[in-house]
Structure 1
Amino acid sequence: MTEFIQFFQSSDVTLSDKLLEVAYIVMGLIAVYAGVRNAQDKTNPKRMGTAIFWVVCGMLFIVGRWVPSTVAGALVVVMVLPAICKQVGRGTGDEPTAEEMQGNYEKIGMKLFVPALSLGVMALVFALFTNISSLVGLTFGVVVGGLMLFAFSHKNTPTVFLNDTRRMLDAVGPLSMLPILLAALGSIFTAAGVGDVISHLVSGVIPQGNLVVGIVVYAVGMAVFTMVMGNAYGAITVLTVGIGAPFVLSLGADPALVGSVALTCGFCGTLMTPMAANFNILPVAILEMKDSYGVIKKQIPIALIMLVAQIAYMIVMTAL
C-alpha cells in the first residue's frame, strides 16, 4: 500500500503514467467483476474455472506493478491453468432479447456508431495535443462513449455497461489475454538475444552491401515473424536488431521511413495469423462464425498484395 501511495504522490512519475495506471486498475476491477458474476452464474457449466481466470487476471492488472515478479509469474500460471484445462466458459444469462435489440436499434439507429468513433477521436486528441498517452485518451473515449449512450437512452446505466462488458469478456474468453502475452514475448526474445541469432542466420543469405535484398528479407521477415508472434510491435524489436539494423539501416537507409514501413509489413502478417486473436479470432467468437479461420481466409489475398506494395514502396523510397 505504501508503494501504491508513493507512486501517485511522486513528482518523478508523469501524469500520463499515473492516469494509465488508473486505467489499468479500472480494467482490473471490471475483470474481477466478470469473475464474481461468473461464480454466481449457475447457467455457466464452468463457472468456477471462469471465475478463477477473470479474478486472477483482474488482480494482475490492479496490483501487478507492486508485487514481486515471482508472485506475478505465479499468478499468471494460476490464471492460465483453467484455460489450459478448458474450464473457462460462458453462461446464458443477462443476454438481451431479439425484441429488445430491435427496439434499441429503432430508437438509436446509426447514431450508435458515434460513441464508437469517440474512442478513436479521443485517442488522437490525446496523442496530438497532449503529452498524455493515447491509451489514456482511449480510456477517456470509453467514458465519453458511455455518456453518449446514456444520453441516447437512460436505460444504459452503469450496471448495463458492466454486464455487457462481462458478456463481451465471456465471449472472447482467454483469447483476450493473447495480445498482452505476445507483446511481452517480444521483449523476452530481444533480451534473450534472438535478434542476434537471426542476424547470424541471414548473414549467409543476404549479399554484403545489397540494400534491395536486405529490404526484401527484412520486410518478409517482419510479416512471417509477426505471424509467429501475433504482434508486429513485438516482432519489430527482434527483426530490427537481427536484420533491419545490420543489413538495411547500416547502408544509409532512413530509419524513420524503414521503421514505419517495416511495421506495416508486420501488420500484413497480422492479417494472416490466428495468433493475432484480437483481430482474427475475436470476430469469429463474437459473430459465432462456423469457420474458425473464416476471417483469415478472406484477408490473406489482401495481405499479400499489401506486403508486395509495401516492399516496392520501401525499395523505391530507399534504394533508388
Structure 2
Amino acid sequence: MIISTEWIYIIMGIVCFFCSVYTFFDQANSRRIPSGLFYLIYAVTLLFGKVIPPFYTGLMVLAMVAIVAFGGLQKGSYNGAGADEREKSRKRLGNRLFLPAILIPVLTVLGSKLLVNVKIGSRLLLDPSNPTLVALGVACIIAILTAMMLTKSRPQTTFKESRRLLEAIGWAVVLPQMLATLGTIFTKAGVGTVVSGLITKVIPENSVFWIVFVFCVGMALFTMIMGNAFAAFPVMAAGIAIPFLIERFGANADQIAALSMFAGYCGTLMTPMAANFNIVPAALLDLKDKNHVIRVQVPTALLTLAFNIVLMYLLVK
C-alpha cells in the first residue's frame, strides 16, 4: 500500500509534537512543563506506537494519567488575532470559510468509496485494512492546505491553531484509544459470559420482553461506561444477544445488531466518557457547564431507548 494507517498516525504525532514544543515555551502557562510533557508523551505514542512494546506504552499512558490527576494539565496563551481582526477576515472570506470543513466529509466519502481498489503499479493506494480512516486523514490534510491558501497563513499558524484545539480538548484526547482498549479487555476477560450467567439467574428464560429490556438497557449502560457502543457491543452480544435472542428465539441477527448499536448510542448521549460527542463540543464552545450538552440530550436519549426496546421486542416476538 502507498498510504497506510501508520502514516496517518505519524502525521498526527508530528503535529502533536510541535504542539508540545509550543507549550513548553509558553511562559504564560504556569504548568507549561507538565502540560508540554503530557502532549509530548502522546506524540511519542502516535509516532512510535507500532514499535514500542505494549508494556512501555502502558507506562506512558499511566504517566499521562498522573499528570492530569495532579493538576499538571493547563491551557496556555495563544496570542491569536483580536476580535476586530477576526471579524475583518470573516467579512473578506465570506462563505469560503466553510470550504475546508465541507471538504473533510466529502473527500472522506469519495476516497473511501472510489479509491479503495485503486492501484499504482502493483500497490494499493489506500490501506485496505482501514481505507475510511486513511481517506479521512488525507481529507484533513487537504482541508488544512486549503485553509492555509484561503487565509494566506504560514505553516506555523497551522501548528499554533492545532495546539489551541488540542489544549481545548485536553485530557479527553486520549479517551478514544483508552476506551477501545477497555472494550478489548472486557471481552478477553469473559465479561460477556458473566453477564449471560446473571441473566439466566435473574430473568425468566422464556420472557422475551425482559431479555430485550435488559439487553438494550445493558447496551446503553456499558456504552456509558466505555464511552463507545462499538466497545460495548461484543460484551453484550456474547452475553445476551447470541445465546438468548438469536439462538434461543431465532431473532434476525442483522436486526439485533443494528438495534443494539442504536441502544448503545442512547448511552453515548448521556455520558462524559463519550468525550468526542459531549465533552469536546462543550470545551470548544467554552461552556461554563461542561455537562450542559449531556443534560440537554438526556430526555431524547431516554425516549429513544424506550422506542428501541419496544421495536426490538416486536421484531423478536
TM-score (norm 1): 0.89
SS in 1 for 2:51: coil
Q: Which residue among 248, 262, 265 is the counterpart of 1:267? A: 265
Distance in 1 of aligned mates of 2:250 and 2:99: 45
Partner of 1:290: 288
| Residue 314 of structure 1: how far off its partner (Å) | 2.5
Note the 1:68-83 alignment, pairs <5 A: 68-83=53-68
Give RMSD over aligned pairs. 1.8
Does 2:71 align with 1:86? yes
Distance in 1 of aligned mates of 2:310 and 2:138: 39
Aligned letter for 1:244? A
Cα displacement string for residues 42-90 of structure 1 (whole angstroms, at most 9, x for unaligned residues): 0111000011101111101111111212221122222222111110112
Identity %: 34
Q: Which residue among 216, 221, 224 is the counterpart of 2:218? A: 221
Taking structure 1 as reference, are residues 98 and 65 closer, same or farther at Cα in structure 2, changes over 3 Å only?
A: same
Q: Contact conserved, 1:94 with 1:163, CA < 8 A, in 2? A: no
Distance in 1 of aligned mates of 2:264 and 2:95: 33
Partner of 1:24: 9
SS in 2 for 1:67: coil
Aligned letter for 1:227? M
Does 2:35 align with 1:50? yes
Partner of 2:51: 66
Partner of 2:97: 112
Cα displacement string for residues 82-108 of structure 1 (whole angstroms, at most 9, x for unaligned residues): 111110112113322111221221122
Larger CA deviation: 52-61 vs 208-217: 208-217
Q: Contact conserved, 2:224 with 2:273, CA < 8 A, in 1? A: yes
Larger CA deviation: 102-111 vs 263-272: 102-111
> How many residues are matched?
303
Note the 1:245-264 alignment, pairs <5 A: 245-250=242-247, 251-264=249-262
Aligned letter for 2:237? T
| Residue 25 of structure 1: how far off its partner (Å) | 0.8
Taking structure 1 as reference, are residues 98 and 136 closer, same or farther at Cα in structure 2, changes over 3 Å only?
A: same
Bigger relative CO (Cα 8 Å, ≥ 6 apart):
2
Cα displacement string for residues 268-310 of structure 1 (whole angstroms, at most 9, x for unaligned residues): 1011011112211112212221112111110011111221222
| Residue 182 of structure 1: how far off its partner (Å) | 0.9
Partner of 1:125: 110
| Residue 120 of structure 1: how far off its partner (Å) | 1.7
SS in 1 for 2:277: helix
| Residue 126 of structure 1: how far off its partner (Å) | 3.4
Taking structure 1 as reference, are residues 111 and 315 closer, same or farther at Cα in structure 2, changes over 3 Å only?
A: farther
| Residue 123 of structure 1: how far off its partner (Å) | 2.5
Partner of 2:274: 276
| Residue 148 of structure 1: how far off its partner (Å) | 2.6
Distance in 1 of aligned mates of 2:168 and 2:262: 29
Larger CA deviation: 205-214 vs 103-112: 205-214
Q: Contact conserved, 2:245 with 2:316, CA < 8 A, in 1? A: no
Unaligned runs of 5+ in 1: 1-14
Unaligned runs of 5+ in 2: 117-127
Structure 1 runs of 4+ off > 4 angstroms? none
Aligned letter for 1:238? V
Distance in 1 of aligned mates of 2:188 and 2:107: 34
| Residue 191 of structure 1: how far off its partner (Å) | 0.5
SS in 1 for 2:4: helix
Distance in 1 of aligned mates of 2:132 and 2:93: 29
Does 2:133 align with 1:135? yes
Q: Contact conserved, 1:268 with 1:304, CA < 8 A, in 2? A: yes
SS in 2 for 1:300: helix
Distance in 1 of aligned mates of 2:155 and 2:91: 22
Distance in 2 of aligned mates of 1:76 and 1:272: 26
Distance in 2 of aligned mates of 1:186 and 1:47: 33
Aligned letter for 1:245? I
Aligned letter for 2:30? P
TM-score (norm 2): 0.90
Distance in 2 of aligned mates of 1:127 and 1:204: 46
Taking structure 1 as reference, are residues 261 and 113 closer, same or farther at Cα in structure 2, changes over 3 Å only?
A: farther
Distance in 2 of aligned mates of 1:32 and 1:158: 14
